[in-house]
Structure 1
Amino acid sequence: MIDSLQVNYLEHNEFDGLHDDGCEIKVTCTPTPGQLAWADGIVAFHSVRVDNALLAQASRCRALVKATTGVDDVDMAALRAKGIRFANVGQVGVEEVAEHSLALVLLAQRRLLEYFRHTQMGGWCWRECNTQAPGELLKSCHETVLGVLGYGAIGQAVARRAAVFGYQVKFHDPAFANCPNGVAQACSFEAVLAQADILTLHLPLTPTTYHLFNECNLARLKPGAVLVNTSRGGLIDTDSLLSALDSGQLRQALLDVVEHEPAIPSALRAHARVALTPHAAFCSQRSLSTLKARALKTLLTMLEKAPSVTDQEWWPQNQEGEAHV
């Protein structure tokens, strides 16, 4: 089990050692060539790249599980070339990511970031907190259009919660011509960008969505909009984002994920209209426990299956989705 160097998903000695079922597990953040060559199966957590360099050393490996929903850091061609069965964990932490996303939406809705900083600097006047339009009053949730880009499990969970608050929820997802849960209005990509006061992203990172929010598409956003991202950092081009914030095209960016994290550009980290959380949206006691247990169970099941099981029976689940881990 290759744990993340960024954050330890596994507690000390949580799985390490010989288990009752005869399975011996070694846990490491920095696998040695000997450990990789020894393993019949591998569980790789977030930020562990599954590429040719790793697989070349895993001479015995018959199955690999990525303990994430996203598979953007997995070389599928290399896995196929070596005949290694692969699976990811599917949707984990859907409710948690939806709650975190809505918390960021409400932070922007109520200008909490501005209020926090204003009072920290000794102020006590709410009229001074909107630097873009001094004295302009807040809009209620009922007057606010919430755009949801990507309407998989998390996008739908966000929309359900937002509808309770009274948001006018509009979404875009090519997979849905109409809203499957009746709480949002389906729109074109361009319409969602143009109408959303707050836009929340729930997309996988693919060659198509990489830097989807570049200079061109950020310019399509409603002036003064807020951008929320709890999906993948690579959806947003950081330089274009900073330019849009500096010009006032964007009022705020509230990000749980950043490209090349944890190497966060200092200009982004220090920006007065940026709030960052450390890729934590999926996290809860329940989701973390589910993630680890499901990853290990999936791997052991794959290793126990007869050789007649085809690769197609073990391939990424829920790639259309947007889950966070």
Structure 2
Amino acid sequence: MNILLIDSPRVSYIDTGEYRAGAARQGHTLEVTSHPSDEQLARADGIIAFHAVVVDAPLVARMRRCRVLVKATIGLDDVDVDALSAKGILCSNIGAVGAQEVAEHALALILMAQRKLLEFARHTREGGWSWRTHTGTLKACRDTVLGLVGYGATGQALAHRASMLGYQLCFHDPWIEQCPLGLAQRVTLEALLGQADVISLHLPLTAQSRHLLNDTRFAQVKHGATLVNTARGAIVDSAALLRALQSGTVSMALLDVVQEEPCVPKALIEHERVLMTPHAAFYSERSLAELKRNALQTMLALLRGEKVKTLINPDCMAKEAKRHA
């Protein structure tokens, strides 16, 4: 069996020499590329696609014998699952790998902004020494309402950490009726936007969540709130965010993702109240290793005909088994 690993065209997830050309693992041959040829796609029995690899209908059409595609990400917004299903190709993601790291990254951003660390560092670097030199208010964690939009693995991981610091927590998630950890109050999205001092996004990008935060939603936001996005960039309308920053509705935007990445609008990069990181929230040495290990294990399990919890199109199981019996 041939497994093709398509590395990200933006930044390498696979280290040079990590998988030797033609290396065999558990009876399967591994091949790595970031720009797959027609021949590589045609001979692959299974494909692992990393971040920013768009699995669209034209790419799927080039897969001649592929039985399984594993997207080595949590989100599947750049995968045409219908096209894969139409060809009887099983599709899976890697579940909640990196969720703890994303929660820690989000909390680090929140604390850095809340404690005015960048302002204080700039002030002292310029020779000052006054704790009164900062803009806006400086609230204690226990006086701060943290609103979590999306309350899956990442949102819950952040809630657990933030609760230990005393944050007042609320969440909105249409798929969760009761708080699994008992840490946060479930509210409507409108209520969350209106009461949260910090709004942190932890939901997948879907047709329903695309531009969830637009001009209409920003008009409902508590004036001076901080926005944190470590989920998917297109959940936030960048133009609307810039207008919300200009009006003061949003006091600061802490962004690990933006809809235009990696070609981020200059107005966002240079805005004095925007802090950006390069889609790095998931990353630690542990999570990167786990991501690759999980993707390969999921691939091998599906090729063996085993069931996995992260399978997206289980109806293809029977079709795939019959086709390759």
Same fold (TM over 0.5): yes
Q: Which amino acid aligns with 1:82?
A: K
Structure 1 distance, partners of 2:73, 2:46, is 16
2:278 matched to 1:275? no
Native 8 Å contact 1:43 1:65 kept in 2 = yes
Native 8 Å contact 2:93 2:312 kept in 1 = no
Alignment of 1:94-133 (within 5 A): 94-121=99-126, 123-130=128-135, 133=136
1:111-150 CA distance string (max 9 Å, x none): 22332344455544443420xx4xx5x1111111111111
Residue in structure 2 matched with residue 14 of structure 1 by the alignment = 18
Structure 2 distance, partners of 1:145, 1:284, is 28
Native 8 Å contact 2:147 2:198 kept in 1 = yes
2:301 matched to 1:301? yes
Structure 1 residue 178 displacement after superposition: 2.6
If the length of structure 1 is used for normalisation, what is the TM-score?
Answer: 0.90
Native 8 Å contact 1:18 1:25 kept in 2 = yes
2:60 matched to 1:55? yes
Identity of aligned residues (%): 53
Residue in structure 2 matched with residue 320 of structure 1 by the alignment = none
> After TM superposition, which residue ranges in structure 1, 4 or more long, deviate above 6 angstroms?
none
Native 8 Å contact 2:198 2:225 kept in 1 = yes
Give the 3 Å change call, closer, same or farther, for CA 195–296 of structure 1 in structure 2: same
Q: Which amino acid aligns with 1:233?
A: G
2:20 matched to 1:4? no
Q: Which amino acid aligns with 1:49?
A: V
Structure 1 distance, partners of 2:166, 2:250, is 23
Give the 3 Å change call, closer, same or farther, for CA 168–124 of structure 1 in structure 2: same
Give the 3 Å change call, closer, same or farther, for CA 177–3 of structure 1 in structure 2: same
Give the 3 Å change call, closer, same or farther, for CA 43–230 of structure 1 in structure 2: same
Residue in structure 1 matched with residue 150 of structure 2 by the alignment = 150
Q: What is the aligned-residue RMSD (CA, Å)?
A: 1.9
2:247 matched to 1:247? yes
Native 8 Å contact 1:147 1:197 kept in 2 = yes
Alignment of 1:188-203 (within 5 A): 188-203=188-203
If the length of structure 2 is used for normalisation, what is the TM-score?
Answer: 0.90
Q: Which amino acid aligns with 2:47?
A: I
Give the 3 Å change call, closer, same or farther, for CA 177–222 of structure 1 in structure 2: same
SS in structure 2 at match of 1:74: coil
2:38 matched to 1:70? no
Q: Which amino acid aligns with 1:24?
A: T
Q: Which amino acid aligns with 2:220?
A: R
Q: Which amino acid aligns with 2:81?
A: M
2:38 matched to 1:33? yes
Residue in structure 2 matched with residue 169 of structure 1 by the alignment = 169
Structure 1 distance, partners of 2:291, 2:277, is 20
2:29 matched to 1:24? yes
Structure 1 residue 38 displacement after superposition: 1.5
Structure having greater relative contact order (Cα 8 Å, sep ≥ 6): 1
2:314 matched to 1:312? yes
Structure 2 distance, partners of 1:208, 1:311, is 20
Q: Which amino acid aligns with 2:249?
A: Q
Give the 3 Å change call, closer, same or farther, for CA 177–302 of structure 1 in structure 2: closer
1:21-53 CA distance string (max 9 Å, x none): 331111011111111112111000000000112
Structure 2 distance, partners of 1:313, 1:295, is 21
